[in-house]
Amino acid sequence: MSKANRWRAIYSATGPQAARNKRLLITAVRFNAGLRWRIELSCPAVLLNTAAKLIGSHPESTPEQKEWAAPVLARFKEAAGLPFADLKDKDHNRAADLAEDACNYAFGAAAEHVERSCMWIGLTTLFWLERMLEVDPDLLIENSPLHHATYELLERLKLDPGLMGDMEASARKASMRLGRAWNEIELYRDGEGLFARRASHPVKEAA
């Protein structure tokens, strides 16, 4: 199965298959415990990168929206890979694949396993991230690509409120499901010294 098909299968799985995917992810997260903080740093950027990518390519996006999305997409892509930048190829690929699998499982649960619009994905992630920042403000490392790209996305929502439409209430509910799904696979869990293990592994700031 190709990566794209595997990730799509994880996103859409329900019932026994979803339970099996969860068990496999928990095993992988535990086995790769040393990579967990990196995965936790990468996942918000992975999800927001998906939203920006869809905004940039959607046929109903305006030329201005597509022009705005290109540099923001580049920042989110950089942010998603930055936590793995100093790893050897084998560990880099394993961590990046696990982050993608985790994102597809968690967001599949948040989206109730159906396709969602680009802004719904972005809003759900931002609302979840907003709550996470109350637990660990340093999740958005100052001057990091994720910090800058998230700020630009928020500013775009202020300038172009039509992007949000009437999705706010739905996305806020979904952000709660997203948080629960992360916890199910033992990521972003409260009471475990959340992100403390990052202290001895600093992440580079943007140039």
Residue by residue, DSSP assigns 88-132 as -HHHHHHHHHHHHHHHHHHHHHHTTTS---HHHHHHHHHHHHHHH
Q: Who has greater pLDDT, 35 or 140?
A: 35
Residue 149 lies in a domain: yes
Q: DSSP readout, 26-64?
A: HHHHHHTGGGHHHHHHHHHHHHHHHHHHHHHH-TTS-HH
Domain range enclosing 178: 14-188
| 89 within a domain of the structure (yes/no) | yes
Q: Record the tokens describing residue 200, joined without a space.
A: 């001895």
Which of the pair, 55 or 125, is modelled with greater confidence?
125
Mean pLDDT of 80-102: 93
Alpha carbon of 21 to those of 11, 17, 45, 101, 197: distances in Å?
Answer: 10, 6, 22, 9, 26
Asked if residue 147 belongs to a domain, the reply is yes
62 within some domain: yes
Q: Within a domain: residue 201?
A: no
- 109-167 pLDDT, tens digit each: 999 999 888 778 888 998 898 888 887 776 777 778 888 888 877 777 777 666 666 78
**Is residue 203 situated within a structural domain?**
no
pLDDT at residue number 206: 45
pLDDT for the residue 60 = 63
Give the total number of structural domains in the chain: 1
Non-local CB neighbours of 18 within 8 Å, separated by 6+ positions? 105, 108, 109
166-204 confidence digits (pLDDT tens): 788 899 999 999 999 999 999 987 655 555 555 555 555
Residue 71, in any domain of the structure: yes
DSSP letters for 131-154 = HHHHH-GGGS-TTSHHHHHHHHHH
* 137-173 burial: b if 16+ Cβ within 10 Å, else e: eebbbeebbbbbbbebbeebbeeeeebeeebeeebee
202 located within any domain: no
Q: Among the listed ranges 3-12, 78-87, 117-126, 136-145, which one has the minimum average pLDDT value?
A: 136-145
pLDDT at 27: 97
| Total-model pTM | 0.84
Token reading at 49: 């990168």
